[in-house]
Every structure is written in C-alpha cells, then in structure tokens.
C-alpha cells in the first residue's frame, strides 16, 4: 500500500548559487558521502540539485516541508552497484520509518543542465 508520494523540481542554478556562496550550505544539506559522490562528477551541480530535490520530495511524501527544520543530512542518497538511487534514513526519519512500519522508500532522480527533479514513494 502506498503511504505517501512526493515530487520536487528545482533549477540547477539555484543550488549552484547556494554552493558558490559558501556559508556551509553543502555541509548543512548533504552528508560527507553525498558530497564525495557529487564532487567526482563532471556535472556536479546537477547531481547536487537532484539530491536536494529528493530530500524535499521525501519531506513532501511524509507531509512536511523544508520549514519543519529537520537536519537534511539525515536523508541520505546513495547509488547501488547498478547506479540506482536509494534513500538511507537516519535519526528521526529512521525512527519514523520503524514506527510506521514502512516496507520500502522508492526514489527516482532525473536531471538535465538546467533542471533536476525527484519522486519519492513510500510503501507500507
């Protein structure tokens, strides 16, 4: 049964501008593993933007938004051996998944030079 769905789309330039300003944006939003993954990519801003969109899509799927004040590093994206993206939930999100007995959290990412989007589906 589907518990929640979320989708987000973002302009890559918005994320690139935040990264360029510094101010600890990367460390506030992305885990060290996510940063390492994106930094090794030629089109790293697109990868950062897609991961940002996935975090926001996840929050929408659980009925929250960015204004809820959660640590976004507790929503971590990683790719398996085949390149498929997955969400790793930590802290309060991991606890919520256990309490609600979620069976799976699916994520899909897409990006082009100007735009990134993500969809999250939670099964219970």
**Which pLDDT tens digit goes with each residue over 63-106?**
986 666 789 999 999 999 999 999 999 999 999 999 999 999 99
Sorted by sequence, the CB contacts under 8 Å of residue 20 that are 6+ apart come out as none
Our answer to whether residue 60 is catalytic in this structure is: yes
pLDDT given at position 10: 98
Catalytic residue of the set 60, 84, 100, 106: 60
Assigned CATH topology for domain 2-123:
Ribosomal Protein L22; Chain A (3.90.470)
Cβ contact 104:38 at 8 Å: no
pLDDT given at position 89: 97
Whether 15 shows a pLDDT value over 90: the answer reads yes
Q: Please state, rounded to an integer, the average pLDDT across all residues of the chain.
A: 95
- Angle of the 44-61 helix axis to the 32-39 helix axis, nearest 10: 140
Q: Hey, where are the domains in the chain?
A: 2-123
User: What average pLDDT does this structure show over 49-72?
Assistant: 89
Our answer to whether residue 47 is catalytic in this structure is: no
């Amino acid at each position: 049964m589907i518990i929640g769905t979320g989708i987000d789309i973002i302009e890559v330039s918005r994320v690139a501008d935040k990264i360029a300003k510094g101010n600890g944006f990367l460390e506030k939003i992305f885990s060290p593993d996510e940063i390492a993954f994106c930094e090794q990519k030629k089109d790293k801003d697109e990868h950062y933007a897609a991961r940002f969109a996935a975090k926001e899509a996840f929050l929408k799927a659980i009925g929250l938004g960015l204004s809820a004040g959660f640590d976004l590093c507790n929503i971590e994206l990683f790719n398996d051996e085949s390149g498929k993206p997955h969400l790793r939930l930590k802290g309060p999100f991991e606890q919520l998944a256990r309490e609600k007995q979620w069976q799976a959290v699916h994520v899909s990412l897409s990006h082009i030079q100007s735009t990134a989007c993500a969809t999250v589906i939670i099964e219970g």
